[in-house]
Amino acid sequence: MCLFAILAATAPRLALFFLWIFTPLVNSSFSGWMMPWLWPILGVIFLPFTTLMYVLVVGPLGETNIWGWVVVFLALLIDLRAYADAAANRQQIPGLGASAT
């Protein structure tokens, strides 16, 4: 369990892939959705922490309470922060900043 937590913190896409292959959590989390295979794939590509937390919150128990949604919201903030950091670092690269014309 601790190894999975380390994997999830460092490589959420890989952790989500392992959950999808070795457990039924991903399938049970998205079973009521239209095209249940599409949403996890989009989550892996664009919002890996959010999708991972959604699977870990909704998968084992089904419907969740407010605290589960707080965890998913915090994961969304982590994903958005990663995109903001990437944009800020992109500004530091010569030739790719806003002043390049």
Give this prediction's pTM: 0.85
Domain segments of the chain: what residues?
A: 2-92
Averaged pLDDT in 10-residue chunks for the chain of 101 residues? 91 95 93 87 95 93 88 96 92 71 52
Could you tell me if 8 and 52 are in contact, meaning their C-beta atoms sit under 8 angstroms apart?
Answer: yes
Find the radius of gyration of the CA atoms of the chain. 16
Quick: pLDDT tens for 40-63. Answer: 999 999 999 999 999 999 988 888
Instruction: At 51, give phi and psi (nearest 5°).
Output: -65, -40
Query: Within 10 Å of residue 53's Cβ, how many Cβ atoms?
Result: 24
Q: Compute the distance between CA of residue 97 and CA of residue 89 in angstroms, rounded to an integer.
A: 9
